[in-house]
Amino acid sequence: MNLIITCGPAWEPLDGMRRLTNASTGRLGSALADAFVSAGHRVTVFRGDMATAPLPEAPVELVPFGTNDELAGLLYGWSKRLPVHAIFHTAALCDFKPASVRSADGSMLASRKLSSRSGRLIVELEPATKVLPSLREWFPSARLVGWKYELDGNRDDALAAAWRQIRDASTDACVVNGAAWGPGFGLCEPPASVLPCADVADLAGALKGWLDRSPISPP
């Protein structure tokens, strides 16, 4: 099968030097890529260019990206290239991007490099482009797995966010983790299946099994 894995952090520019980004290394994407290649799949990894984890050891096609919009454009173009059977969207994309930067007195600032001599700055954020909800349109036959990293609340709250993502983005499964979930991961599959996974290796095995038993429509 032809598989896509997105991983690592996206970033959004504050000015020509500074970026707003997420705390993500890309480690999970590399581990999943190695696991799927070892199972005989062809894997393309869309990797945030600020990722710090080692690259996959297995032979994969690597495609770097920067911002959410850049990843969206790359994936849309990829959908026209070749059949894709499944996408594992682990990338930590930005929820917000800078809309404007003002000085403390409210004056709009526009500079390739904001100076600290300007004193205190006020940064207004706006929602960044969401990629996951578009994947079903671009890859109508692919199996889609999203991710939810939840910090606030408890395991029930984390699961509620996972089921909401599956419903809203028309995905086939969701992996949930973070402090709200607790140690490890949860692989959520409609209508109500939740498979706890102790670590990355356990998750990789669960996803390989899920892919093997999931119906794949001809692209």
Q: How does pLDDT run across 144-194, given as a tens digit for each residue?
A: 999 999 999 999 999 999 999 999 999 999 999 999 999 999 999 999 999
Residue 112 lies in a domain: no
Residues 62-116 have pLDDT tens digits of 999 999 999 999 999 999 988 999 999 999 999 999 888 887 877 777 767 777 7
Residue 125 lies in a domain: no
- Would you say residue 218 has pLDDT above 50? no
The kind and range of the H/E element at 47 are strand 42-48
Give the chain's domain count: 1
Residues 49-63 have pLDDT tens digits of 999 999 999 999 999
Q: pLDDT class for 215, splitting at 50, 70, 90? A: low
Q: What is the pLDDT of residue 219?
A: 45
Residue 195 lies in a domain: yes
Residue 147 lies in a domain: yes
The 3-state DSSP class for residue 71 equals helix
Could you tell me how far CA 69 lies from the centroid of its own chain?
Answer: 13
Residue 152 lies in a domain: yes
Residue 163 lies in a domain: yes
CB 153 within 8 A of CB 126: no
User: How many whole angstroms separate alpha carbon 214 and alpha carbon 141?
Assistant: 12
Could you tell me how far CA 188 lies from the centroid of its own chain?
Answer: 16
Residue 178 lies in a domain: yes
Segment 125-132 shows an average pLDDT of 95
Q: Structure pTM?
A: 0.92
Domain span at residue 181?
2-95+130-213
CATH of the domain at 139: 3.40.50.10300
Residue 105 lies in a domain: no
